[in-house]
């Protein structure tokens, strides 16, 4: 049995365009049980509690996500203390591609990123980001959700 892979590009966004046709909005709270190249996170996305295991970094990563019972989520959540983040996820279609725009809350307020998942590497490489995607973050580990939850906002060099 093969482990499912996620092919995703991530971009910094200065602001959400006013004319963006937002299809959905969900609040997300996530915390990390294990960190590093093999991470395990808890996430409440809307009213759905999930456990996710990820392996790897960059454009292609292994990812397995499983639903959790609420009671299990509540028992595990305290173990993520000090390794959490909150964000609102806006989902929109841009040039035929589904884009998840994450607007961070709390200590990460002001940070906005867009993530685009792809079916294959060719589609990922062929994707031409819209102008409101300011800078690609796909290979910038300082903007991974794990690092943001552990260390906060990266310090930008002048």
Task: Establish if 79 belongs to a structural domain.
Answer: yes
pTM for the whole structure: 0.92
DSSP line for 73-117: HHHHGGGGTTSEEEEEEEEEEETTEEEEEEEE-GGGTT-EEEEEE
Task: Establish if 68 belongs to a structural domain.
Answer: yes
Task: Establish if 158 belongs to a structural domain.
Answer: no
CA–CA distance, 3 with 124 (Å, rounded to integer): 19
Task: Establish if 74 belongs to a structural domain.
Answer: yes
Task: Establish if 156 belongs to a structural domain.
Answer: no
Domain housing 96: 5-151
The domain that holds 129 is classified in CATH as 2.40.320.10
Task: Tally the domains of the chain.
Answer: 1
- For 142, the token pair is 């300082």
pLDDT tens-digit profile of 49-105? 999 999 988 888 899 999 999 999 999 999 999 999 999 999 999 988 999 999 999
Is 32 labeled as catalytic in the residue annotation? yes
Task: Establish if 95 belongs to a structural domain.
Answer: yes
Residue of 9, 13, 32, 145 marked catalytic:
32
In terms of phi and psi (left: phi > 0; alpha: psi -120 to 50; beta: otherwise), the region of 9 is beta
Task: Establish if 111 belongs to a structural domain.
Answer: yes
pLDDT tens-digit profile of 23-57? 999 999 999 999 988 999 999 999 999 999 999 88
Residue 123 DSSP code:
H
Contact 127/7 with Cβ under 8 angstroms?
Answer: no
């Amino acid at each position: 049995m093969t482990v499912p892979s996620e092919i995703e590009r991530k971009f910094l966004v200065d602001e959400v365009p006013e004319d963006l046709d937002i299809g959905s909005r969900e609040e997300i709270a996530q915390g990390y049980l294990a960190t590093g190249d093999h991470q395990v996170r808890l996430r409440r996305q809307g009213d759905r509690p999930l456990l996710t295991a990820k392996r790897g970094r960059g454009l292609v990563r292994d990812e397995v996500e499983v639903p959790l019972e609420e009671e299990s989520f509540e028992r595990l959540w305290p173990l993520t203390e000090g390794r959490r983040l909150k964000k609102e996820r806006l989902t929109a279609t841009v040039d035929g591609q589904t884009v998840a725009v994450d607007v961070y809350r709390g200590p990460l307020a002001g940070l906005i990123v867009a993530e685009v998942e792809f079916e294959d590497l060719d589609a990922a490489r062929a994707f031409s980001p819209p102008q409101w995607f300011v800078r690609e973050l796909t290979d910038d580990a300082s903007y991974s959700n794990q690092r943001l939850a552990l260390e906060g906002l990266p310090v930008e060099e002048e």
